[in-house]
Every structure is written in structure tokens, then in C-alpha cells.
Structure 1
Amino acid sequence: MSSSKFVRRALVGGALAAGAALWAVRPRSFGDKQKHFVPSVPEAWYAHRGLHDAGSGLTEEYAVESAAYVALARSMAIKAGYGSAAESGPIAPENSLASFAAACEAGFGIELDLQLTLDGQVVVVHDPDLMRVAGDPRRIEDLTYDELTRIPLFPAPAEPGDAVAHPLPKSQMNPPLVTTPDAAPDGYYQHVPLFADVLRVVAGRVPLIVEYKFDDNAAWDERCDELMEKGDELLRAYDGAYVIESFNPRAVDWYRQHRPEVCRGQLAEGAPVSNPGAWAAGLLAFDWLSRPDFVAYDWHGGNSPQMRATRALGATAVSWTVRSSDELAECDDWFDRHIFEAFVPRR
């Protein structure tokens, strides 16, 4: 083959590859948004799992700014009627009613996570189990909501600002020997809440980013459909601003098919090539399925080629999760909205 033919084929091949890549990362079309009267992601700072005084992001790495954040979470929760200044332990742990009420009092939007209990109740909790937030290794899908009401988040000896709960007695045995108390513990505490109760507390005061959470983002089963249907049923009845998102493109596609009028987002992050599925998702290669209105990306990747491309094509870029003023300064130019924790952003 002559060098000129090789160059022509390489150019054609490169153009086709670039075209395919742009097709894959293309968000929902402007015409489709107009047709369904789709709102944009409301302009707000979004408090990750609520404005919380225990839980995600409150690690030693962010201690310089997190003290003010924890103090704000506590004061806003108390203002909303949760706990008191006399409480020695956490008042508003992550993904609790108190943390969401605190965010509302402070005027922040809220990012939260949905899962299903054993008895099919839609609850707000991030991890598949309770180990990190309650010292209890049992899984959400193996517990009823009634049981969850008797399991305190960040129980004593937890302190404000703790990132991880202390393990419960016998929780680290093999197998664990943790059981649910027969009665609710004495004193003030927060537990995993129903999504319905969260919506009642927020009551349209601030916008929500609602994440549908799954163990395996490459799989889909009847419980996944159940979560989508029940979560959406609650949102249909809710009188307030919200958008939805998920790492699982099938969940975002569920909204494309069933609720095209809802603003939908694809969650993603960069991943190594050694994990092909996650690597492709990080490249936004599955956006052809979900055709999102926004992409919520790990804040480190805002300047990546795929994020620059999808933003240029019309997607709103949302960062997760910014935990300091320095991180915000590093990524702010590449995102339109931010999900934050562990520091108080200037508004």
C-alpha cells in the first residue's frame, strides 16, 4: 500500500471513530427537551447526602475546613428542630432527616440516594450495608424499614465530625452476630429514613438531585424495576424541583422511556482500562442509551475529552464531590453545578 493511501485510510478511520465517539456521548437533543418541556438542573449548591455533622467526607484530609461545615450542619439542624446544643453525639448524620432539614435551613440543594428494603420500602441511604454509618454489617436489602427505625446512625461513642461509625459489638465476627434491638434506643438519634418522609421534610424548599442506587450497575432485575417504579411514584406526587441520576444507564434510560419530561443525569467517573465496563462508562460510552440532560462526573475529570465534548454538545456538567475550597478552585471552570461536602462554599 502506498503511503498516500495509508494516510487517507487513517484519516477516514479517525474521522469515523471521532464521529462515533461524539454520537455516543451526545446528550438529549434540544428539540426533545423542548418537546417535553424539560427543566434544567436548578442553579444551587447541592449538599452531598444532606448537610451532615457525621459521615461522608469528614476525614482528616479535610479537617481544615470541615469544622466550620460541621458547626453549620449542627446549628441548622437545631434550628430546624432536631437535637440540641447539649447533644454530645452527631445530630445530623449523612442521609438523615436532620441532615436534609439542615440543608434546607441553610438554603442548599440536596443530593441523596435511594434503595429498597427487604419489605420493598424506598429508603434514603448510600451504602449497600450499614457498617460505615451504623457499625452494623447487615445489608439494606436484608432489613425491613421497621428494623431500620431501631438502628441509630452513628451511635455512641460517635462524635460530631466522625467519618465512620464505631463497629457494634460482635459486628466483626465471622459470621457477624448483630441483631436488631426489640425497641428503639433511649435518647435522641437518627435512622435511615423513608424517601416519603424526606420529601415531606424538604417540601419543595430546595431542589433535589435524586440518585437511584444499585449494587451492580451492569445488571438489571425485578427489584431494579421495583425501585424505579416506587421511587418515581413518590416523585410524581411531590410538589418541588428535582432531577434524577444514576450510575446505571438503564435507570436513566428508564426515565427516558417512562418520564421524558424529567431532567435526567448520567453519573460517571474515570476508571482504569483493567475494568472494561467501568472504563467505558467513564468515557460516557453508554450515553447513547440514556441520552442524559446532564452528566455528573467525578470532579477530577471535568477537563477530560469526553466531558468537554458532552458539555459542548449541550449537557450540563455537575461535579461530585467537591470537599474543599482548593478542589473547587481546581475544577470550577469545567462544571456548571457542584455537589459538595466538608466545607462551606461561598455563595
Structure 2
Amino acid sequence: MGFGKKLLAAGVVAAGAGVLAVAPRPGFDKRNHDVPEVPDVPYAHRGLHDAGSGLVAGYEAESGDYVDLARRMAVQAGYGSADFAGPIAPENSLASFAAAAEAGYGIELDLQLTVDGQVVVVHDSDLERVAGDPRRVADLTYEELTAIPLFPAPAKPGDAEAKPLDAAPATAPEGYYQHVPLFSDVLKVVDGRVPIIVEYKFDGFDWSDRDDELMEKGDALLSAYAGPYVIESFHPGAVNWYKQNRPEANRGQLADFASFGTDKKAVTEWMAGLLAFDWLSRPDFIAYDWHGGDTPQVRLARAMGATTVSWTVRSSAELGESEPYFDRFIFEAFVPRKA
């Protein structure tokens, strides 16, 4: 039986246990391992960026100021120039992380593995949305990734989508651009100036040797890093990996709403949204879709001691609506106050 099937079967049993299923890590265990709290700062989703996630219709009222800040902070950090026409700091780029650090915001980012075993920072499993390139990150080397500009066109600040390519680039283009970065380079850029939330990304709920490789290599980089960080994942197996191997690290279970479906993947996602797998990961914090703060499972987990983190808040109004239910928040598309 694969890991996903075992997880589903165990989740059914755990869900029946109710309160015990969603219980976070016990306080005595946190004290025994001297686990730090999630630092109390706003976290910039995929960095402070001028192209990418959240810069879409419906958020124009505040996103202009956000884009202006991202560009200004990136230039201040030494990336691009004020008169550059295209994106200076696209999502999950070195420039976006430098911009967030310059502005004093925490950072949320995503880890994946290239075909040559490099830990890189990118959200999607392929490059279609961020670069107009349909190839998967897992099928590309890091060297190949360095030749692919993030959000290359249309070239104006705030664009949310990249122009599809007619053909994959053979060589790096001339001029300024940002590409998918190595996680090690991101850590050098941030250099402990602000805290980071590190998400381990997976396709579905199965598990392979490659997933072990991502966990081991990502953790090795974090273990050598002196700055403040916490980890999170939608996959309870990844959070459980930290429970078993790095109990001193603050670990978080990502979850969101999911409609009930009849296939294995849909049922597993629905149960994960109910936090029915927290018995396995025993997280220190719950990172939940901001719409779900008032759900019974989130309220219960918080009452039992879990820190709650909302994602992804995209306006002052959304922050005001969700703030009563969450202790921390991940944001984009507007400029929030600092703690």
C-alpha cells in the first residue's frame, strides 16, 4: 500500500477520534526541544513582488502601492533600475526576497527539486504561468532554469501572467531579468534579516525517494542557516519528517477548504482540510486559507495551542475580516502595517 493510501486509511480512523485528530504538538514537547515561536511579523507571499501571484483583477485599489514598494525596495537592494520597464522583482526571485528584507517583512517561499538534485525556490510544478514555458521544474537542470526569465512579457509592472513561448530558450537572454533561484542563494540574500516560512512542495500525497531527497537537502541548508525560520507543508508526511528528524524546528501544517469528492485524491484533500491528519504531524502552527478562520477545526486547533497563520491575504479588508481568527498572516497585493 502506497503512502497516500495509508494516509487516507489512517485519516479515516483519526477523523473519528475528533479532538485528538487536530491536536497540535503538546506544550511540554515544545519546551523540551526549545522550539521557537513563529515570529510575529507580516510575511510577504513569495517575496515582495511586482509580477506574479495576487496581482490580478479585483485588487487594483491597493496593489499599485504594493508594486511600487516592491520595485523601490528591489532597486534599493541593488536589483534593476527605477526606469526599467519590465518586472524587477517577480514572485519567488532573489529580487523579491531582497525587496521584502529591505522593507522589513518576513518571507514565505516554496521549495522544489530540479532533475539534477538542486533545491530551488519556485511554486508551480511547471513554468507555464511564471515564464510561459510548459516544462516541469523536476525535468530541468538548474543551469537550464537560469536561462528562463520569470514573467518576461508583457513588460509592464504588475503583470500577473507571462507570455507563452513559441520555443524554449537555448541561451540566456541579454539584459536584466530574474530566474528561478537556488535556495542557498536565497538564504544568502536574506541573511537572517527577516524570518522566513519555508514550504516543502509536493505533487499529491504519495511519497518517493525524491521526496526524501528534497526533505534532506532542504533541511541541510536550513540547519546551516543562522536566521529565524519555520517550515510548513500541505503534505503531513513532510511535517512528520520534521517531527521525527528535527523536533527542535517549528513545523506547520498547511490546509484549506476542499469540496468532498469520491476519488482518493479528493477525499484525502477534503480530510486534510479538516486537519484530520494533524495526529501524524502534530504541528506547532496551522497555516490555513484566510477564509477558514472561523471553521470548527481551525478554532479547535487554536484553542488547543496551535498558532494560526492565514494565507494569502490580499487587501486591508481581507486582513480585517480574518484577523480575529489568526495570530500571523501571509500577504500580497497590498501594503500592510508592521507588527
1:276 shift after superposition = 1.3
Answering whether residue 251 of structure 2 is matched by residue 271 of structure 1, we say no
Amino acid at match of 2:279: W
1:142 to 139, 142, 167: 139
- What is aligned with 1:34? 31
2:95 alignment partner, one of 95, 98, 102: 98
Please name the residue that 1:179 is paired with. Answer: 168
Q: How does 1:324-339 map to 2 (within 5 A)?
A: 324-339=315-330
Deviation at 1:179, TM superposition (A): 2.8
Specify the SS of the correspondent of 2:58. Answer: helix
Query: Which runs of 5 or more structure 1 residues have no equivalent in the other structure?
Result: 1-16, 170-177
Structure 1 segments of 4+ aligned residues over 3 angstroms from their partners: none
Determine the structure 2 residue equivalent to 1:246: 233
Cα RMSD of the aligned pairs, angstroms, is 1.3
Query: Residue type matched to 2:58 in 1?
Result: E
For the residue of structure 2 that corresponds to 1:338, the secondary structure is strand
User: What residue in structure 2 maps to residue 66 of structure 1?
Assistant: 63
Residue type of the partner of 1:211?
E
Aligned to 1:175: none
Are residues 1:209 and 2:200 paired? Answer: no
TM-score w.r.t. the length of structure 1 is 0.91
Q: For each residue in 1:297-339, what CA deviation from the matched residue of structure 2 results, as whole angstroms up to 9, or x when unmatched?
A: 0000001000000000000000000000111111100000000
8 Å contact from structure 2 (residues 123, 201) kept in 1: yes
Which residue in the other structure is 1:232 paired with?
219
Cα distance per residue 1:106-128 (max 9 Å; x no partner):
00000000000010000000000
- Quote the Cα distance in structure 2 between the aligned partners of 1:209 and 1:268: 15
Q: Distance in 2 between matches of 1:234 and 1:47?
A: 21
SS across alignment from 2:59? helix
**C-alpha deviation, 1:158, in angstroms:** 2.7
Would the aligned equivalents of 2:15 and 2:276 in 1 still touch at CA under 8 Å? no
Can you list the C-alpha shifts for 1:188-228, whole angstroms capped at 9, x where unaligned?
A: 00000000000000000000000000011x10000000000
Match of 1:107 in 2: 104
Structure 2 counterpart of 1:65, one-letter code: E
Q: Distance in 2 between matches of 1:225 and 1:130?
A: 23
Q: Which runs of 5+ in 2 are unaligned?
A: 1-13
The residue number in structure 1 matching 2:83 is 86
Asked if the contact 1:158–1:166 (Cα under 8 Å) also holds between the matched residues in 2, the reply is no
**1:142-164 Cα deviation digits (max 9, x unpaired):** 10000000000011333210111
1:32, distance to aligned residue in structure 2 (A): 0.3
Match of 2:206 in 1: 219
Q: Is the 8 A contact 1:46 1:110 kept in 2?
A: yes
Residue identity (%): 71
Which of residues 236, 245, 248 in structure 2 aligns to 1:258? 245
CA distance in 1, matches of 2:322, 2:51: 25
Instruction: State the TM-score, normalizing by the size of structure 2.
Output: 0.93
Larger Rg: 1
1:158–1:165 CA contact under 8 A, matched in 2:
no
- What SS does the corresponding residue of 1:60 show, helix, strand or coil? coil
The match for 1:345 is 336
- In the TM superposition, what is the alpha-carbon distance from 1:19 to its structure 2 partner? 8.3
Asked if the contact 2:15–2:21 (Cα under 8 Å) also holds between the matched residues in 1, the reply is: no
Asked whether the equivalents of residues 50 and 95 of structure 1 are also in contact (C-alpha less than 8 Å), the reply is yes
Displacement of 1:18: 9.4
Equivalent-residue separation in structure 2 for 1:86 and 1:52 (angstroms): 16
Aligned match of 1:188: 176
- Mapped to 2, the partners of 1:166 and 1:158 lie a distance apart of 9
Q: In structure 2, what is the equivalent of residue 131 of structure 1?
A: 128
Distance in 2 between the 1:109 and 1:346 partners? 12
* Cα distance, 1:105 vs structure 2: 0.4
- Secondary structure of residue in 1 paired with 2:90: coil
Residues of 1 paired with 2:256 and 2:16: CA distance? 22
For 1:331 and 1:219, the matched residues in 2 are separated by 32
AA matched with 1:64: A
